Structure 1
């Protein structure tokens, strides 16, 4: 069923299943043949991000020590996979920038910068891929964690499935991620720097993954919420990549005029992206964290049909000595 919980399994089992599925996906992706290695590394990196989001959702049930150990383990694996993808993302951001301002730019604008970035990307890819056979090494590390993950002890009131008890295991993690994202968003303003926006985006992305895990609780509305979280994550992610692009260009051997022109376009585009992201963030973080988590608890109960269980058939009850009503005679 993929990256989401199931109604027919205890939450603890679901957490372990999803974690193992992401480990398996990362290991398979890193085994791609040489011509597909770049895509394989990208897919493995995404699996690591999903795994870290799952850890944040389950942190209350895992406990502080286990959470810290596993998060650091996955973070280190993800970092080894990031260098190649990060450079490729900068090239993509330049292409998006030139496409966005195509009516104001010459077709060959920034062609020299793009060629430099492509060359840099290839050099980093070759270095990273050949460094101790990085994909195979990371795959071995991740695969070695399977036994440990399968033995995760998840505690708390929520090891059941019904009456909202299962949701209790996930409440602390969901509350923390939403709360942190809300606090970071409320601190943003027109003068906030790229780091502040990037920090907010991290929490947005974790909350996005959490809605995907919990989507079966109410597929339509939670799919829509997930789409908006993904949208704002993409907007702010593009903002971050553009800022990195600007900084790379400023430190390269581009002529001053070209570098200044690029910086001006980046500043303009970042303002547009942030202007588009702000009202979405305002809607996403309008509620108090406790209200959001309580709402997911209600979704959980409704999903399991435990809001108001029907009386068993044929068990009409007398209430206060009054016999069950009968149809009036015709």
Structure 2
């Protein structure tokens, strides 16, 4: 199951097939993966569905686009708090690999143990409400029945170009704002725009595989840098909010200093990579992608 448009199928069939496959895969994840892996997988697929919807936004019309996008956005929000706790644990492991040898034993364990306990309690609460086995399944099945036949009537690949330009332009603007006003929310907004661009390049892999494979890898790396930074900032907020019971205040202060140091490194690397990816004008980027699709699709 590959997230890409298939040149052997019509565009209309591509859109409905990919939407259906992503929902089917989400239902399968609930049956075959442990719950933490399943929720992570579903979150990613919901974002892919929203990116696919965004790609044909102009063809669908604004009302149709908004209703579909909001459904998947809100469903993602329902599982975000539970997923965030696993992300915290992954972030702590990432910090341990980078800084652990310079710190005393179990420096990070104090944090991870409390998060594990919080996550277990939340999981038990959700299971007692049949959230995973009934509610989430019901929501996904409803989406499969009602939200996979999207109102796309044209098979001309050019209908995606307005979205290509818009996503690129908004990512470019978000990059500038993030470094002019380096707040967590601005970097998170840029990250979202980068991920939309990444998903679009994944969908267009068949247009020119060698080119799009390289572009996709570069954007993916940028998305990972910004994703790691976002996870650091969310964990930092949790620490500053006093959610952890610590014996010494110096423990908290050192943890914040470590997070800030790593964040600065990630943002510095992201700036260089981002400026390379967003070096073109949005119109030139759209024109270039349009020429590739014209040659290899139409």
What is the TM-score when the length of structure 1 is the normalising length? Answer: 0.85
Looking at structure 1, the residues matched to 211 and 274 of structure 2 have their Cα atoms a distance apart, in angstroms, of 17
Q: Which residue of 1 aligns with 2:53?
A: 55
Aligned to 1:327: none
Q: Does 1:188 align with 2:186?
A: no
Deviation of residue 147 (structure 1)?
3.4
1:230-256 CA deviation, whole Å, 9 max, x = no partner? 111111111111112122223122221
The number of residues matched between the two structures is: 295
Structure 2 match to 1:260 = 253
Matched, 1:274 2:272: no
Aligned match of 1:211 in 197, 201, 206? Answer: 201
Query: Per-residue displacement from partner, 1:267-308 (whole Å, max 9, x unpaired)?
Result: 11100010111110001111111111111111112214x6xx
| CA separation of 1:89 and 1:150: change in aligned 2, threshold 3 A | closer
Higher alpha-carbon deviation: 182-191 or 4-13: 182-191
Corresponding residue SS for 1:106: coil
Q: Distance in 2 between matches of 1:11 and 1:145?
A: 20
- Residue of structure 2 equivalent to 1:168: 158
Give the TM-score normalised by the residue count of structure 2.
0.93
**Any conservation in 1 of the 2:6–2:206 contact (CA below 8 Å)?**
yes
1:19-76 deviation digits (Å, cap 9, x = unpaired): 111111112222347xx22222222222111101111111111110110000111112
Q: Which has the higher helix share?
A: 2
Q: Are 1:31 and 1:136, in contact at CA under 8 Å, matched by a contact in 2?
A: no
Structure 1: unaligned runs, 5 residues or longer? 161-165, 307-330
1:89 positional shift: 0.5
* Alignment pair present for 1:238 and 2:236: no
Residues 285 and 123 (structure 1 numbering): CA distance in 2 closer, same or farther, change over 3 Å? same
Change (3 A) 1:185 1:209: same
Root-mean-square deviation (CA, aligned residues, Å) is 1.7
How far has the Cα of 1:136 moved from its partner? 2.7
Q: Conserved in 1, the CA contact under 8 Å of 2:30 and 2:132?
A: no
- Residues 41-120 of structure 1: pairs in structure 2 closer than 5 A: 41-120=39-118
What stretches of structure 2 of length at least 5 have no aligned partner?
none
Q: Structure 2: how far apart are the matches of 1:111 and 1:100?
A: 15
User: What is the SS of the residue equivalent to 1:192?
Assistant: coil
